[in-house]
């Protein structure tokens, strides 16, 4: 059978695989440096922390938007950065942060930055050894062909292509690409347990939850014959949105004429090692990480609470699914949760 994943799904899954491997290595090295449980994602490094490597910088220079201030509030609460206070009400959150305040790295933040800096090159070299340098060089070349020829790192090229695809999709769709590619994609007119959505999408309960954006497209009801639990199914409008999602991604794939890129991405899923898909090898978590079952307090906490234990178990289960069947389990669009990094 022909692979039915659209180009954005293939790019997303490869980007997530790279990021999970990157994040695991960051957490492992931070633990060895005396900071266990440091589950910050590469996304935080790429979007924010890398700009602090050369010294303090103002919030304005970091792009002063609500998302940036939310991230800064979390990083402040977790001990990675400090902000000018000046009587601020709302420490540890995005509340009250002014654009002219300077952001400074703490000792923990300096350790995080020095840990992050070599990791992109390290993981890219691992991929060259795992899949073959010629194959990864070809993938970079295909990504540059589609993305305008910019000489960027592999994850940056993947992110650039995915963003361009999303902009084109969102311009022509009433519903953005992320909810279409994740929750709406895995539902049908038949009831699905609400608790199963995270597993079916490869995401987390937070990023795939039935929030206000999805409510017009689904029907939530109590699970039949049970005293607890709920089910969710697509409404008539949701069915139309799902149909349009598949139609529009097919149109964009044809419009882009990126068959060579598609073939290069698919090859990463087909190459086999001695114990299974080569892509799975990088998804196996190293000892000392949460995905490997290591228990540590949540960021900003001194004790290990019930929520942290559940999160660890969720991540272990998610990781096992990724490793066993990456083409089926990895998400079709990456959604990053600041409190959890990527995933559950």
- Domain residue spans of the chain: 7-30+118-342, 54-116
Residues 252-293 have pLDDT tens digits of: 999 999 999 999 999 999 999 888 899 999 999 999 999 999
Mark residue 150 as left, alpha or beta (left: phi above 0; alpha: psi -120 to 50; beta: remaining): beta
Residue-level pLDDT at 344? 38
Burial 141-164 (b: 16+ CB within 10 A, else e): ebbbebbeeeeeebbbbbbbbbeb
Residues 177-197 have pLDDT tens digits of: 999 999 999 999 999 999 999
Q: What DSSP string describes 129-177?
A: HHH-HHHHHHHHHHHHHHHTS----HHHHHHHHHHHHHHHHHHH-SS-H
Task: Using the predicted structure, report yes or no on whether residue 166 has a pLDDT greater than 70.
Answer: yes
Residue-level pLDDT at 338? 63
**Residue 228: pLDDT band with limits 50, 70, 90:** confident
- Strand 102-105: give its sheet, edge to edge: 57-58, 102-105, 81-83
Residue-level pLDDT at 149? 75
Residues 26-37 have pLDDT tens digits of: 999 999 999 998
**Residue 86: pLDDT band with limits 50, 70, 90:** low
């Amino acid at each position: 059978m022909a692979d039915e994943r659209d180009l954005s799904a293939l790019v997303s899954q490869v980007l997530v695989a790279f990021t999970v491997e990157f994040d695991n290595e960051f957490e492992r090295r931070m633990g060895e440096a005396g900071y266990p449980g440091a589950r910050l994602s590469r996304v935080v490094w790429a979007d924010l922390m890398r700009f602090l490597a050369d010294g303090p910088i103002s919030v304005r220079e970091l792009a002063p938007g609500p998302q940036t201030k939310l991230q800064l509030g979390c990083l402040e609460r977790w001990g990675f950065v400090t902000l000018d206070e000046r009587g601020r009400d709302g420490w540890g959150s995005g509340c009250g942060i002014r654009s002219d305040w300077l952001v400074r790295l703490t000792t923990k933040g300096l350790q995080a930055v020095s840990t992050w800096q070599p990791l992109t090159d390290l993981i890219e070299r691992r991929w060259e050894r795992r899949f073959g340098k010629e194959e990864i060089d070809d993938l970079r070349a295909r990504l540059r062909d589609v993305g305008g020829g910019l000489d960027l790192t592999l994850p940056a090229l993947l992110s650039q292509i995915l963003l361009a695809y999303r902009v084109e999709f969102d311009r022509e769709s009433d519903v953005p690409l992320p909810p279409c590619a994740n929750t709406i994609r895995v539902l049908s007119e038949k009831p699905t347990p609400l608790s199963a959505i995270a597993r079916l999408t490869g995401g987390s309960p937070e990023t795939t939850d039935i929030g206000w954006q999805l409510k017009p497209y689904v029907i939530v009801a109590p699970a039949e014959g049970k005293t607890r639990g709920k089910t969710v199914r697509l409404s008539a409008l949701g069915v139309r949105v799902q149909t349009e999602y598949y139609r529009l991604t097919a149109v964009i794939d044809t419009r882009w004429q990126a068959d060579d890129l598609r073939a290069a991405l698919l090859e990463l899923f087909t190459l086999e090692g001695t114990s299974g898909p080569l892509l799975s090898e990088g998804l196996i978590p190293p000892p000392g990480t949460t995905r490997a079952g290591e228990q540590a307090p949540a960021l900003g906490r001194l004790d290990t609470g019930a929520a942290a234990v559940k999160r660890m178990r969720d991540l272990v289960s998610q990781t096992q699914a990724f490793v066993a069947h990456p083409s089926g389990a990895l998400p079709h669009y990456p959604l990053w949760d600041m409190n959890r990094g990527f995933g559950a």
